[in-house]
Amino acid sequence: MSLHRIQKHPEYVEGCFGCKIGELEISTGAASSNGIPTAKAHDKELGSYYAAVRQGIEPISTKQKDIDAAVKFSNETGKAFDGNKLSV
């Protein structure tokens, strides 16, 4: 129970601002990522992607795991990986 309702009136009163605000619930909203990267993480991934592309490597996507796999493959084989030539 909110402090307003303890001090003023124990029941909810329609039209009472104190009662209305006491019923509000805070959610994480935009702070909840649900798997969506933050701007900082996104910029880091794009930086890694562009660094790979400048080396002639073409990862399958801009996701960090795909970039890392393409760079690893390129380093192991000595040949630039080209994700565009893969057929799905």
Q: Between residues 85 and 78, which one has the greater pLDDT?
A: 78
Q: Which residues contact 52 (CB under 8 A, 6 or more apart)?
A: 58, 59, 67, 70, 71
SS (H, E, C) the chain: CCHHHHHCCCCCCCCCHHHHHHCCCCCCHHHCCCCCCCHHHHHHHHHHHHHHHHCCCECCCCCHHHHHHHHHHHHHHCCCCEHHHCCC
Residue ranges per domain, the chain? Answer: 3-25+37-81
34-72 pLDDT tens trace:
667 678 888 999 999 999 999 999 999 989 999 999 999
**Mean predicted lDDT score pLDDT of the chain:** 84
Supply the pLDDT for residue 77.
93
